[in-house]
Homo-oligomer: A and B are copies of this chain.
Amino acid sequence: MSIKRIESGRRMSQAVVHGNTVYLAGQVGEGATVTEQSKSALAEVDRLLAAAGTDKSKILQTIIYLSDMSTFAEMNAVWEAWVDPNNTPARATSQGALATPDYKVEFIVTAAL
């Protein structure tokens, strides 16, 4: 099976395609609030899925980290406005501090081609 790496840097690639499966790097977003960061991060997910040749209707699994679980409902509101309602992935969420204190939410997405 072929491996294709997208937006590869010294530390990581933003997406890796293996056969019919796409692994995205954890996506964080810009903005001050969880709402803003979730919208920004999920726009990056859209962009990277398109670069890989797929889209959000084919997401298989999403693991979400929140730096503060009290923002769970706020993140979910953005998520539910964004996700394809007819094609929701398996999902799990836990609390964990992220790479810098400014980051409040991260989405780790696995999708199909």
Contact = CB atoms under 8 A, between A and B. Distances in A.
A12 B88 contact: yes
Given A10-B88, A58-B3, A60-B18, A97 B94 contact: yes
Interface in A15-30: 15-16, 18-21, 23-26
Given A18-B112, A90-B14, A23 B61 contact: yes
Q: How many copies does the complex hold?
A: 3
Given A11-B83, A76-B11, A25 B92 contact: yes
Given A21-B18, A61-B16, A5 B88 contact: yes
Which size class do A's interface residues fall under? 35 or more
Interface string A58-79: 1011110100010010001001
A31 interface: no
A35 interface: no
18 contacts: A1-B20, A9-B88, A10-B80, A12-B88, A12-B89, A13-B88, A13-B90, A16-B60, A16-B61, A16-B89, A18-B60, A23-B110, A25-B91, A63-B108, A92-B108, A93-B98, A93-B99, A96-B96
